[in-house]
Amino acid sequence: MANDYCNYDTDFGGDDLKLVEYDVVFDEYCDEAWVGRGRTLINYATTAEAFASTALADFRARADTGKGCAQIIDPRWSKARIDEILNDQMKEEGKQRHRFLYCRSPRIIDRWPRRDRACDKDEVSVLHSINETLREIVKKTQDGAKLVDTKKT
């Protein structure tokens, strides 16, 4: 599997759409397990490390039924056990016992460019209009201030 990982795209940069697959692994001495695999779609630039830090929460949220984008593979695991381990990881005694769930080998299995959104162009047009209006107000305000100054003298 390590060799397969090398063939995947691991460049998480850019704002294109990326279909990301990852594995969830439990690493406790004498109780190692491949808990499951997840997939999700992201549309922002990140790094594999940053993605991995949020992937466990994503996996936990999607693993309700074993359908869709996250599936618990190991029959010894359930959402309740995942919750127990994740909560334990936050506590000092959990860190001392070395009970950790990891997101391993996040990889991009497909990517494609985002489509232009018409609303983006509309937003830019509105912003240009606002900018022009503000410039006119500032110019009129400055011209009015000059008139008031000349009347005082």
Report mean pLDDT in 10-residue bins for the chain, 153 residues: 62 92 84 86 90 82 63 82 80 63 88 78 82 87 64 57
- Give the model's pLDDT for residue 3: 46
95 lies in the same domain as 125: no
- Give the model's pLDDT for residue 28: 76
Please state, in angstroms and rounded to a whole number, the distance separating the CA atoms of residues 82 and 88: 10
**Helix (H/G/I), strand (E/B), else coil: 140:** helix
103 lies in the same domain as 129: no
Domain coverage including residue 87: 2-112
N residues, the chain: 153
82 lies in the same domain as 153: no
Give the neighbor-by-neighbor strand order of the sheet with 70-72: 70-72, 33-42, 17-27, 100-112
- Give the model's pLDDT for residue 18: 93
